[in-house]
């Protein structure tokens, strides 16, 4: 047997063995693309630090990232995700970990079964406000036809638009002091095909000509041009003390939509003082309030609306949340 192997034959063999060795040791170190299931789990683990619904939030953030419905996730749990998509998802999770509201990240929030566009110019709709709307819709006055209703401090328009969908004969005024908020409300009104029935003064002439909607821009009731049957409002009612207490959860939302002065009742009291001028003789008022303010608001109502009686309604957590003023 010839043991003299030429260098020409040995060199390629050595190179081949070298690269195979490198591949053997490096390959296990290289991270394979993560699948949907893995990303959901990672997101959930991170979000548990700030949320009791970490799994749901992880799902919503991933759906938002890949622009697919939730059903797609469950049907494709083993599907590999690109590095770019993974990085986008991680960025959103990191942003959420700062307590930046999920609704602002997604750019939407459900209210009374309807989807609403939102951004940082408007307050995020909350379950307590859904209870206010539900309470009003179940009231006797809501059964009347051709009501004139004023939603004061409309924000994203969730109250006015929901009522417009439920009460097709009502004429509704939606007012806000913030032009940026009115633009959001206007977009939501068009989305839900009620824009021609929410009837305010223009915040934008071009927009008014284009779609026939006029939103009232003004302070509380001052922009109303006629008396109404119903005043409904979720005005700022958080006190200075509570604002400081819950600051970390509220710091990203517009302060002027939350803060109601030193004890929280400044704007509601101001509305009650002006109400006699804008409310019809048999009109009613529905207000979302803080439990701590109920007594002083009833006293303010009696002072300015002596012919009306006050009723208080608790929310699902057992706290007084709704002040209803109606004729005795």
For the chain, domain boundaries: 1-98, 108-327
CATH 3.40.50.150 fits 108-327, yes or no: yes
Q: What is the mean pLDDT of each run of 10 residues along the chain (328 residues)?
A: 49 51 44 79 92 93 92 88 91 94 95 94 94 95 92 94 90 92 92 68 41 70 92 90 78 87 89 94 93 89 90 90 89
Structure tokens at 252: 């990203």
pLDDT, position 292? 87
Give, for 5, the enclosing helix (H) or strand (E): none
pLDDT, position 177? 92
The region that residue 36 occupies, defined by phi over 0 for left and psi between -120 and 50 for alpha, beta otherwise, is alpha
Assign 107 to helix, strand or coil: coil
pLDDT, position 214? 61
Distance of CA 193 to the CA centre of its chain: 20
Domains 1-98 and 108-327 share a fold: no
pLDDT, position 101? 94
Single out the residue of 227, 222, 260 nearest to residue 243, CA to CA: 260
Q: Between the CA of residue 294 and those of 7, 73, 297, 311, what are the distances in Å?
A: 96, 46, 5, 10
pLDDT, position 243? 74
Single out the residue of 135, 137, 113 nearest to residue 125, CA to CA: 113
pLDDT, position 241? 81
pLDDT, position 8? 52
pLDDT, position 25? 44
0.85 exceeded by the pTM?
no
pLDDT, position 16? 55
Fold classified for 1-98: Helicase, Ruva Protein; domain 3 (1.10.8)
Strand partners for 117: 108
The HSE-up count of residue 62 (CA atoms within 13 Å, CB side) is 29
């Amino acid at each position: 047997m010839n043991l003299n192997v030429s260098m020409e034959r040995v060199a390629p063999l050595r190179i081949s063995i070298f690269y195979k060795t490198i591949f053997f040791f490096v390959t296990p170190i290289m991270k394979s693309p993560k699948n949907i299931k893995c990303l959901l789990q990672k997101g959930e683990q991170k979000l548990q630090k700030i949320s009791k619904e970490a799994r749901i939030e992880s799902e919503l953030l991933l759906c938002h990232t890949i622009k697919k419905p939730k059903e797609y996730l469950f049907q494709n749990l083993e599907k590999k995700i690109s590095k770019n998509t993974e990085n986008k998802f991680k960025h959103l999770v990191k942003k959420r970990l700062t307590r930046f509201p999920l609704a602002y990240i997604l750019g939407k929030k459900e209210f009374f079964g309807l989807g609403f566009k939102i951004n940082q110019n408007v307050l995020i709709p909350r379950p307590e406000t859904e209870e206010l709307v539900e309470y009003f819709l179940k009231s006797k006055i809501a059964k009347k036809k051709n009501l004139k209703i004023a939603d004061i401090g409309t924000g994203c328009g969730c109250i006015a638009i929901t009522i417009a969908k439920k009460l097709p004969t009502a004429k509704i005024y939606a007012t806000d002091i913030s032009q940026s908020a009115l633009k959001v409300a206007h977009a939501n009104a068009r989305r839900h095909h009620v824009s021609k029935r929410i009837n305010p003064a223009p915040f934008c002439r071009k927009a008014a000509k284009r779609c026939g909607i006029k939103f009232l821009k003004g302070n509380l009731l001052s922009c109303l041009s006629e008396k109404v049957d119903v005043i409904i409002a979720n005005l700022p009612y958080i006190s200075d003390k509570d604002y400081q207490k819950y600051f970390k959860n509220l710091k990203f939302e517009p302060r002027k939509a939350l803060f109601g002065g030193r004890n929280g009742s400044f704007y509601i009291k101001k509305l009650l003082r002006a109400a006699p001028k804008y409310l019809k003789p048999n009109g009613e008022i529905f207000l979302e309030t803080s439990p701590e303010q109920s007594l002083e608001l009833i006293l303010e109502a009696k002072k300015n609306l002596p012919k009306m009686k006050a009723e208080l309604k608790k929310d699902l957590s057992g706290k007084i949340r709704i002040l209803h003023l109606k004729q005795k």
